[in-house]
Amino acid sequence: MFNIKKNQKGVSLYLTIVILSVLTTALLSLVSISVSQIKIIWTTSDSVNAFYGADTGIERLLYAVFKEGYSLALGDCASAYKATLANGASYEVCVSDTSTTTVWSTGKYKKTKRKIEINF
């Protein structure tokens, strides 16, 4: 008679290896996606900090112009309007050198820069 168990030796080992390979591939895919998402979150956080740095520069200059009587000089990148904030972000505010009053502020945080431009 045939001994069915003799013909099936190693099948469970083969199935175990296949199942572990599938699970490992799925796990590595999830880890790869998670790492990508974490990088995106950190980049977005840096971008927001740089943007708010630029916004702070614009607000500071507008306050100086309208409340403190500061007069804008064309082409001016006043050193008074360069600062580093408590969170490490910094800003620099400049005025255009054309007849329209355009002001831009560049915010920097780590390796990220964001620029805001206003006309008034």
**pLDDT by residue, tens only, the chain of 120 residues:** 555 566 666 778 888 999 999 999 999 999 999 999 998 888 888 999 999 999 999 998 889 888 888 777 777 776 567 889 999 999 999 887 666 778 889 999 998 999 999 987
> What whole-number distance in Å separates Cα of residue 69 and Cα of residue 76?
16
> What whole-number distance in Å separates Cα of residue 36 and Cα of residue 118?
35
Domain extents in the chain = 8-119
- Cut 0.75: pTM above it: no
Beta strands 82-84 and 112-119 are unpaired
